[in-house]
Amino acid sequence: MGTVEPQVATTNTTDAQSQVTDGFQLVIDALKLNGVDTIYGLPGIPITDLTRRAQAAGLRVLSFRHEQNAGYAASIAGFLTQKPGICLTVSAPGFLNGLNALAHATVNCFPMILISGSSEREIVDLQQGDYEEMDQLAIAKPVAKAAFRVLQAEDIGVGIARAIRAAVSGRPGGVYLDLPAKLFAQSIDAEAGRKTLIKVVDAAPRQLPAPDAVKRALDLLKSAKKPLIVLGKGAAYAQADADIRSLIEKTGIPYLPMSMAKGLLPDTHEQCASAARSFVLPEADVVMLIGARLNWLLSHGKGKTWGGRAHKDWGGQKFVQVDISPQEADSNVRIDAPVVGDIGSCISSFLNEIKSGWAKPPTEWLNAVNDKKTTNVAKMAETLAKNPLPMNFHSALNVVRDIVKAHPDAMLVNEGANALDFTRSIVDMYKPRKRIDVGTWGIMGVGMGYCVAAAVVTKQQVIAVEGDSAFGFSGMEVETICRYNLPVCIVIMNNNGVYKGTDVNPTGGPDVAPTVFVKGARYDKLIEAFGGVGVNATTPAELRKGMEDAIRSRKPTLINAVIDETAGTESGRITSLNPTAKKK
Ligand code: ADP
Ligand code: TPW
Ligand code: MG
């Protein structure tokens, strides 16, 4: 080896002296610059170091046991904060696990950004079989509001800025950001890198409604003899709580909160028409929708629910629709007065217009609504007072109802079929954005991810009312809840299965029916494995004590509430959507 090494510097002295930064750091810096403080994710190649360095940089990095739950956590954090929730996953399988939540965010109009590491473009595009090879950007596009890929470190700032704007502006939604492994390792001059970062200015600009649209809407509402306001989760998202309450109280119009709008005004408000839902929908003549779509949850604005004679018949109502999306109006029935703008701006325009006075709706209408309410509330009180053994949904939820009333700041997470429907109608909410549930798709599996985000974002006690089937979709995250020692009290309405536990296998074969689980399962034992508190409750008194202890101690708690396995109905309230039911 007699050659002499050339005497040249092996490192460029200028570079060695100047500071360099890399893709990892730029992603972290860009997120922090834009106020992101929490990442919901699951580590692995190529993002393990991103999670480590993000934590070192002071971000809260919450690790989940499955990306879907991290994604649901991010989506609901977006709903609660109006800032995009960030979910971070590995490539292909981790990305796909997160994708369900991305779709969920888009469908529910929640701002969220799914950031996934990915394999190298040049190998993916030639389909040469890279580690976890997948064209993730193409797959994310159909379920995302927007999707971007960053290939160069100097574009990270733009990539994150665009993702944030896309997620929160206009109608919020899920955004996918694809970051190939190679990007993280790219190094560039630190000062040059810093200059590429963008602090987004006015990410969700106000959108003022046109004055003539406001006038048209108010004129229509004024002409009504039986007006009704429907508040949807868009109204809850908008955080215009005081103005929404003023509008409702000043106009005196009865209102109906959709599931996640419950508590926007207290459910006990005298104008709340929830207990008279099946009366007010067909009876109303003008309906003002605020942040609520006329989708299946509102029977598409037509048919028997709305007083139509047959399945798709128009009920005769006229509609005002307040929504940020100009394309929403007329999606199901004619909207006579669309008002396009952000709800905060729209409501304040309405308030401004009615300053000079507003005639309350005719007393006959208000009395009719109140009479229906009084009758239905009395009926419900009678049912709730019963104390059957085994417990049924009513007697168990009567306890939850009391506990939520005593702790109105607690967050309520809710999923299941009967466990969902009964909770929605029995448990009153008193404050805005306290109830988070299965949303537009009626999706099972949001439960434990929602619990983690709700506890982390609000710092309040979380109560989760879960069907035993629903819980199973995300149950392993009880470890996450215990690991971060979150004040979460999970109540499982255990009726031994999906809808109920009594189906039988018609063949008499050894397999149980598809809807039936292990009888008498003890879900409370699950949380004990991780140091949490497990309670088996067979009576309302035991359930009450378990919940009170959980709230007092703020310890992760799981209560297995043993419910009569015959108590539920097929598909809960949406039995009518079963294909066989439709034929009838
Ligand atoms: P729900 O299920 O409670 O009926 P939906 O999810 O169907 O509610 O409807 C929410 C609606 O709210 C969407 O059409 C969305 O465009 C709208 N929306 C969301 N945020 C805002 C906002 N800040 N201003 C106006 N409309 C909004
Ligand atoms: C991701 C279909 C709707 S409700 C439900 C399923 C499986 C479970 C109902 O049983 P549970 O409630 O939770 O025990 P209860 O009180 O009636 O007994 N997969 C997904 N989402 C949905 N909606 C389903 C399946 C479904
Ligand atoms: Mg069940």
Tens of each residue's pLDDT in the chain, 584 residues: 344 444 433 334 444 556 999 999 999 999 999 999 999 999 999 999 999 999 999 999 999 999 999 999 999 999 999 999 999 999 999 999 999 999 999 999 999 999 999 999 999 999 999 999 999 999 999 999 999 999 999 999 999 999 999 999 999 999 999 999 999 999 999 999 999 999 999 999 999 999 999 999 999 999 999 999 999 999 999 999 999 999 999 999 999 999 999 999 999 999 999 999 999 999 999 999 999 999 999 999 999 999 999 888 999 999 999 999 999 999 999 999 999 999 999 999 999 999 999 999 999 999 999 999 999 999 999 999 999 999 999 999 999 999 999 999 999 999 999 999 999 999 999 999 999 999 999 999 999 999 999 999 999 999 999 999 999 999 999 999 999 999 999 999 999 999 999 999 999 999 999 999 999 999 999 999 999 999 999 999 999 999 999 999 999 999 999 999 999 898 877 777 888 766 54
For residue 316, the CA-to-ligand 1 centroid distance in Å is 24
Could you tell me if the CB of 437 is within 6 A of ligand 1? no
Q: Is 299's C-beta closer than 6 angstroms to any atom of ligand 1?
A: no
Do the beta carbons of residue 478 and residue 452 sit within 8 Å? Answer: no
| Pairing relationship of beta strands 337-340 and 20-22 according to DSSP bridges | unpaired
Grouping H, G, I as helix, E, B as strand and the rest as coil, residue 114 is strand
146 lines ligand 2 (CB under 6 A): no
Q: How far apart are CA 308 and CA 298, in angstroms?
A: 13
Instruction: Point out which residues pair with 489 in neighbouring strands.
Output: 463, 557
User: Residue 575: CB partners within 8 Å, gap ≥ 6?
Assistant: 569, 581
Strands (E), 12-78: 20-22, 38-41, 60-63
Residue 583: which residues within 8 A CB-CB, separation 6 or more? Answer: none
Ligand 2 atom nearest residue 419's Cα: 16
How remote is the CA of residue 554 from the centroid of ligand 3, in Å?
26
* Two structure tokens written together for 97: 């696990």
Q: How many CA atoms lie within 13 A of 446 on its CB side?
A: 31
Residues near 322 by beta carbon (within 8 Å), at least 6 away in sequence: 209, 217, 288, 289, 290, 291, 339, 341, 343, 346, 347
Which domains are present in the chain?
A: 20-196 (3.40.50.970), 211-370 (3.40.50.1220), 386-582 (3.40.50.970)
> Which atom of ligand 2 is nearest to 500's Cα?
18
Alpha-carbon distance of 27 to 197, in angstroms, equals: 9
How far, in Å, CA of 60 to CA of 37, rounded?
6
The response to whether residue 390 sits with its C-beta less than 6 Å from ligand 2 reads no
Where helices occur in 320-413 by DSSP H, the ranges are 343-353, 363-385, 393-406
| Residues 173, 109 contacting (CB under 8 angstroms) | yes
Q: How far apart are CA 47 and CA 24, in angstroms?
A: 9
d(CA 368, CA 388): 33
Whether 168 is in the pocket of ligand 1, judged by its Cβ within 6 Å, is: no
* Rounded distance between C-alpha atoms, residue 250 and residue 359, angstroms: 9
- Cα 563 to ligand 3 centre (Å): 9
Q: Measured over all CA atoms, what is the biggest interatomic distance in the chain, rounded to whole angstroms?
A: 107
Closest residue by CA, ligand 2 atom 25? 444
Task: Considering every ligand atom shown, identify the ligand nearest to the alpha carbon of residue 342 and give its number.
Answer: 1
Helices (runs of H) and strands (runs of E) counted in the chain: 24, 19
* Cα–Cα dist 29/161, whole Å: 12
547 SS3 class: helix
CB of 442 within 6 A of ligand 2: the answer is yes
Q: How remote is the CA of residue 501 from the centroid of ligand 3, in Å?
A: 7
